[in-house]
Amino acid sequence: MAHITIETGSPTLCMTTSIHVVSPVESGKPPDYTLYLLHGAGDNASTWQRLTTVEQYAHQYNCTVIMPEANRSYYTDMTYGLNYFYYITQELPKFCSRLFQLNEDRARTFIAGLSMGGYGALKCALTYPGQYAKAVSLSGVTDIRKRIHDMDMPAGMVKEMQAVFGPELDIKPDQDLYKLAETALAQTGKLPPILCCCGTEDPFIEMNREFAAYLRQSGSDFHYVEGPGAHEWRFWEQHLETAFDFLFNDKTQEE
């Protein structure tokens, strides 16, 4: 396995940014699959590789795992900030494809993330359903309206949200997962297969249950798994196996 840390200038972000990559190199040929793995708020591009066994899964499934940096952007083209959504969905895939000779077949390209990154992964897949074969959200922010209007949110975080979504915190249709799913279904008649996992002690559990109910009634290929756990790495490490089973083995244990 190769673990590669890239520091590169981004034309979209107009600054240097980090990308962490784990990739099998033993066979001497490009890996069969690509997974874009998105971090949560407060984490960075290195966190998945430092705190989980993702490298073992990359080896098992002959998959290049690309972990980009997005700061606290909510994977959004920010009102007062940088265009992270464009970077993640447009610039990053082209850059990594050139650098690592990735298989660009949509059927072999996945996206996943946790918390803020779960929102980002779902947003990417629902905006560009033709770009990703499957998407996974672990403890994701599935209802951004509820998140930004959380009365318990610290004042400093409210300012961050205003930088991302605007001073009035007015969520646009292309930032709302429900609206994005509705649009994708209207345009294509189906969504990419999606898995959401959330812990029963997680503060985001109710929004995940509501999102699960919505996608189930839509007739989409949707899977929902919940179990004991909070908003923490022990839960995410446990359900990293759930995610890879879904992506590569078409297997889930829904509850």
For the segment 181-192, what is each residue's pLDDT rounded down to a tens digit? 999 999 988 899
Among 114, 85, 110, 111, residue whose Cα is nearest residue 172 = 85
Using N-to-C axis directions, what is the helix angle for 177-188 and 205-217, rounded to 10°?
A: 20
Q: Is residue 255 one of the residues assigned to a domain?
A: no
The pLDDT score that the predictor gives to residue 254 is 55
Phi, psi of 111 (to 5 degrees): -140, 140
The pLDDT score that the predictor gives to residue 99 is 92
The pLDDT score that the predictor gives to residue 149 is 87
Residue 146 CA, distance from chain mean position: 19
Separation between Cα atoms, residue 138 and residue 198, nearest integer Å: 6
Residue 71 sits in a domain whose CATH number is 3.40.50.1820
Residue written as token pair 């009102």: 79
CA atoms within 13 A on the CB side of 116: 19
The pLDDT score that the predictor gives to residue 155 is 82
Q: Is residue 136 one of the residues assigned to a domain?
A: yes
- The predicted-structure confidence for 61-112, as pLDDT tens digits, reads as follows 999 999 999 999 999 999 999 999 999 999 999 999 999 989 889 999 999 9
- The predicted-structure confidence for 142-181, as pLDDT tens digits, reads as follows 999 999 988 788 888 899 999 999 999 999 999 999 999 9
Number of domains the chain is built from: 1
Q: Indicate the length of the chain as a whole number.
A: 255
The pLDDT score that the predictor gives to residue 141 is 98
24 and 58 Cβ atoms separated by less than 8 Å: yes
Using N-to-C axis directions, what is the helix angle for 177-188 and 116-127, rounded to 10°?
A: 20
Q: Is residue 50 one of the residues assigned to a domain?
A: yes
- The predicted-structure confidence for 238-252, as pLDDT tens digits, reads as follows 999 999 999 999 776
232 is in which domain, residue-wise?
A: 2-249
Q: What is the DSSP track for 75-142?
A: TSB-TTS-BHHHIIIIIHHHHHHHHHT----GGGEEEEEETHHHHHHHHHHHH-TTT-SEEEEES---
- The predicted-structure confidence for 6-59, as pLDDT tens digits, reads as follows 999 999 999 999 999 999 987 677 889 999 999 999 999 999 999 999 999 999
3-state secondary structure of 67: strand
Q: Is residue 177 one of the residues assigned to a domain?
A: yes
H-run or E-run covering 150: none
Which token pair is 2? 């190769």
The pLDDT score that the predictor gives to residue 255 is 44
* 134 CB-near residues (< 8 Å, 6+ apart): 110, 111, 125, 192, 193, 194, 195, 246, 247
Phi, psi of 200 (to 5 degrees): -70, -20
Q: Is residue 75 one of the residues assigned to a domain?
A: yes
Q: Is residue 254 one of the residues assigned to a domain?
A: no
Query: What would the mean pLDDT of 222-226 be, rounded to a whole number?
Result: 97
